[in-house]
Amino acid sequence: MAASADNRSLDAILQKVLEAVPFQLTADGGVEEARRRLRELPRRPWHPDLHTRDIRIDGPAGPIPARVYWPPETSGGRDSGTHPVTMFFHGGGFALGDLETHDVTAREHAVGADTVVVSVDYRLAPEHPYPAAVEDVWAATCWVAENAGRFSADGSRLAVAGDSAGGTLAAVVARRARDRVRAGAGPAVVFQLLWYPSTMWDTSLPSFSENAEAPVLDHAAIAAFTRWYAGHLDPSDPPADLAPGRATDLTGLAPAYIAVAGHDPLRDDGARYAELLAQAGVQVELHNAETLVHGYLGYAGVVPAATEATDRGLAALRAALHRGGDQ
């Protein structure tokens, strides 16, 4: 289950892309400068014909912006059938990112898994530190589960997905949902797709030192984002809503697909969470894209290895949501 130390070189095509369009997550210049750099990254058009709708969901601190995506061959919920629904939470170290920076990724999930996707624009640190993001994505998930019919979606086939910080939030929502179901309430989550998440809050894992100066995300950036999001907490004893791998009970969680990258400081974090889930009897698949970096979803369609790794995760989501039906 463990993702072993990666001795494979960085993918050659990815290396050329990074040289042509350099990008490194960093706190240098402050949070607004970091947000600007992420927003200004070039992005390829992807299924611009998908029907989408921007909505607002009542949240604990006011309306939460969200965007609904319908898969191809539907027209904004006006088709005769129903689709499963996937909550998508964007990455960005809990401090960066929005509906626009992850628009292509949300579209990829809608198309690749044949699912309605609801992308959530949760509150960001440092203006809104932990637990603001958790409370927003949880509120949004509960609302969508109760109102899925508004989008011709089937709330009984509800998955959670997210990249990086969003993967962490997806894992938290999956655990909260399990607890609610055990208490006789909902929503029930049937699958969790976690792209290179942070779940353990343990920088002693080998990949943090092996990939301390990795492309895209390095150890310094992780430390800065951690201060912005959770600097007021004791990192040696994080709550489970911050580090889902520290939860005392991982039994009964939804099946999971955990994607990690060989050249990512968070590689062993995701791998350790997969080990813990397996030990708790949870169905889990771990995939280590050995030649790729943190954030490789953003290079799908450009770097073949990233495309292959992305397609693999989306295929797992599709299979889970359409089990017993057309796939």
3-state helix, strand, coil split of the chain in percent (to 5) is 35, 20, 45
Sequence letter at residue 47: H
Q: Which of 164, 218, 241, 263 is catalytic?
A: 164
- Answer yes or no: 47 catalytic: no
User: What is the side-by-side order of every strand in the sheet holding 83-89?
Assistant: 52-59, 62-69, 116-120, 83-89, 153-163, 191-195, 256-263, 284-293
For 180-194, give one letter per residue: b (16+ CB within 10 A) or e: beeeeebbebbbbbb
Crossing angle of the two packed helices 12-20 and 304-321, in degrees rounded to 10: 110
Query: Which residue in the list 83, 109, 263, 294 is annotated as catalytic?
Result: 294
3-class secondary-structure state, position 276? helix
Cβ distance 38 to 96 under 8 Å? yes
CA distance 15 to 7: 16
* 156 included as an active-site residue: no
Residue 301 to residues 14, 104, 313, Cα–Cα distance (Å): 11, 11, 14
**51 tagged catalytic:** no
Closest CA to 306 of 1, 24, 44: 44
Catalytic residue among 103, 241, 264, 268: 264
Distances, alpha carbon 307 to alpha carbons 79, 117, 295, 301, in Å: 30, 20, 12, 5
3-state secondary structure of 261: strand
Q: Are strands 52-59 and 62-69 parallel, antiparallel or unpaired?
A: antiparallel
CA 279 to chain centre: 23
Read off φ and ψ for residue 159, nearest 5 degrees. Answer: -115, 160
Say whether the peptide bond before residue 71 is cis (omega within 30 degrees of 0): no
Catalytic residue set: 164, 264, 294
